[in-house]
Structure 1
Amino acid sequence: MTDYSVQTNPQPYNDAEAPPSTTRPVMQPDNPYASTRGSITNKQLPAFDEAIINKYNRSGPRYTSYPTALEFTPIPENIGVNGFEAVSLETKILQNRESRAPLSLYFHIPFCRHLCYYCACNKIITKKNSDSGDYLQYLMAEIALKRRLLSVSEGSDKPLVKQLHLGGGTPTFLRDEEMVKLWEFLQTQFEFLSDDEGDYSIEIDPRELSENTLKILRNLGFNRISLGVQDLDETVQIAVNRVHSAELIENVLTEARGLGFHSINIDLIYGLPHQTPDTLDKTVQRIIEMSPDRLSVFNYAHLPERFKAQRQIKDEKLPSPAAKLAMLGNTVNTLTEAGYQYIGIDHFAKPDDELAIAQREGKLHRNFQGYTIMGDCDLLGFGVSSISQIANSNTRYILQNDTNLQNYQAKIDMAKINPMVMPAVKYIKTSIKDRLREYVIMNLLCHDYLDFKDVNQKFGIDAITYFIDEIQQLGEMQADRLIDMDAAGIRVLPRGRLLGRNVAMVFDEYLEKKHKNRFSKVI
Structure 2
Amino acid sequence: MELSDNDIALIEKYQRPGPRYTSYPPANHFQEIDDPTDLLAATKTSKAPLSLYFHLPFCETLCWFCGCHTITTIKRDRADDYLNLLEKEVELFSQILLPGRSVVQMHFGGGTPNFLTGEQINRLGSIIKKRFQFSDDAEISVELDPRRLNEEHVAAFARMGATRASFGVQDCDPEVQQAIHRVQPQEQNFAAMDLLRAHGFTSINIDLIYGLPRQSISSFERTLQAVLELSPERFAIFNYAHIPWVKPAQKNLERHGLPSAAEKLGLLKLCIETLTTAGYEYIGLDHFALPSDELVVAQKNKSLQRNFQGYSTRARVEICGFGVSSISQSAGAFRQNEKELDAYRAALENGCLPITRGYCLTQEDRLRGAVIMKLMCDLSLDFDDIGAKWGINFQEHFADAISQLDELAADGLISLTSQGLKVTSLGRLFIRNLAMLFDAYLTQKQGRYSSTV
Q: TM-score range by the shorter chain?
A: over 0.9
- Residue 370 (str. 1) matches residue 317 (str. 2): no
CA distance in 2, matches of 1:452, 1:198: 35
- Residue 192 (str. 1) matches residue 192 (str. 2): no
**Residue by residue, what CA displacement relative to the aligned partner does 1:44-98 show, whole Å, maximum 9, x if unpaired?**
xxxx945434432222100011111111111125xxxxxxxxx8444534323x1
* Correspondence for 1:145: 92
CA distance in 1, matches of 2:206, 2:79: 25
Equivalent position to 2:14, from 56, 61, 75: 56
2:39 and 2:360 in contact (8 A); partners too: no
* Correspondence for 1:310: 250
* Correspondence for 1:398: 334
Letter in structure 2 aligned against 1:173? F
CA distance in 2, matches of 1:481, 1:230: 31
* Correspondence for 1:23: none
1:90 and 1:422 in contact (8 A); partners too: no
2:243 and 2:449 in contact (8 A); partners too: no
Letter in structure 2 aligned against 1:187? K
User: Where does 1:473-492 land on structure 2 (aligned, <5 Å)?
Assistant: 473-492=404-423
* Correspondence for 1:171: 113
User: Where does 1:303-342 land on structure 2 (aligned, <5 Å)?
Assistant: 303-342=243-282
Letter in structure 2 aligned against 1:64? T
Matched pairs, number: 448
* 1:478 CA drift (Å): 1.2
CA distance in 1, matches of 2:104, 2:404: 39
- Residue 249 (str. 1) matches residue 185 (str. 2): no
Equivalent position to 1:219, from 159, 167, 180: 159
1:91 and 1:422 in contact (8 A); partners too: no
1:366 and 1:375 in contact (8 A); partners too: no
Q: In the superposition, relative to structure 1, how do residues 241 and 432 fare at CA in structure 2: closer, same or farther (>3 Å)? A: same
**117-126 vs 210-219, greater mean Cα deviation:** 210-219
1:277 and 1:324 in contact (8 A); partners too: no
User: Where does 1:497-512 land on structure 2 (aligned, <5 Å)?
Assistant: 497-512=428-443
1:412 and 1:422 in contact (8 A); partners too: yes
* Correspondence for 2:449: 519
Q: In the superposition, relative to structure 1, how do residues 520 and 413 fare at CA in structure 2: closer, same or farther (>3 Å)? A: same
* Correspondence for 2:3: none
1:389 and 1:399 in contact (8 A); partners too: yes
* 1:325 CA drift (Å): 2.8
Equivalent position to 1:272, from 199, 212, 237: 212
CA distance in 1, matches of 2:298, 2:8: 30
CA distance in 1, matches of 2:182, 2:299: 33
**Residue by residue, what CA displacement relative to the aligned partner does 1:273-315 show, whole Å, maximum 9, x if unpaired?**
2221111110011111211111111122333343121132233
Equivalent position to 1:95, from 27, 37, 44: 44
Letter in structure 1 aligned against 2:406? G
Equivalent position to 2:392, from 448, 451, 461: 461
1:109 and 1:168 in contact (8 A); partners too: yes
* Correspondence for 1:3: none
SS at match of 2:67: coil
CA distance in 2, matches of 1:137, 1:494: 49
CA distance in 2, matches of 1:223, 1:231: 25
**Residue by residue, what CA displacement relative to the aligned partner does 1:360-399 show, whole Å, maximum 9, x if unpaired?**
12110011111111121010010111111011xxxx1000
Equivalent position to 1:408, from 337, 341, 344: 344
Q: In the superposition, relative to structure 1, how do residues 321 and 443 fare at CA in structure 2: closer, same or farther (>3 Å)? A: closer
SS at match of 1:512: coil
SS at match of 2:183: coil
TM-score (norm 1): 0.82
Letter in structure 1 aligned against 2:41? K
For the pair shown, which has the larger CA radius of gyration, 1 or 2?
Answer: 1
CA distance in 2, matches of 1:344, 1:243: 29
Equivalent position to 1:384, from 324, 334, 353: 324
1:117 and 1:240 in contact (8 A); partners too: yes
CA distance in 2, matches of 1:93, 1:122: 27
SS at match of 2:222: helix
1:385 and 1:401 in contact (8 A); partners too: yes
* Correspondence for 1:128: 75
Letter in structure 1 aligned against 2:448? R
2:282 and 2:289 in contact (8 A); partners too: yes
SS at match of 1:344: coil
* Correspondence for 2:354: 423
SS at match of 1:193: strand
**236-245 vs 433-442, greater mean Cα deviation:** 236-245
Equivalent position to 1:291, from 209, 231, 236: 231
> Relative contact order (alpha carbons < 8 A, sep ≥ 6): 1 or 2 greater?
1
* 1:321 CA drift (Å): 3.8
**103-112 vs 458-467, greater mean Cα deviation:** 458-467
CA distance in 2, matches of 1:307, 1:61: 17
CA distance in 1, matches of 2:9, 2:276: 20
Q: Structure 1: which 5+ residue stretches go unaligned?
A: 1-47, 78-86, 153-157, 416-420
- Residue 230 (str. 1) matches residue 188 (str. 2): no
SS at match of 2:431: helix
Q: Sequence identity, in percent?
A: 44
2:31 and 2:359 in contact (8 A); partners too: yes
- Over the residues paired in the alignment, what is the CA RMSD in angstroms? 1.7
TM-score (norm 2): 0.95
- Residue 114 (str. 1) matches residue 61 (str. 2): yes
CA distance in 2, matches of 1:106, 1:145: 16
CA distance in 2, matches of 1:303, 1:462: 39
**Residue by residue, what CA displacement relative to the aligned partner does 1:406-431 show, whole Å, maximum 9, x if unpaired?**
1011101101xxxxx32111110110
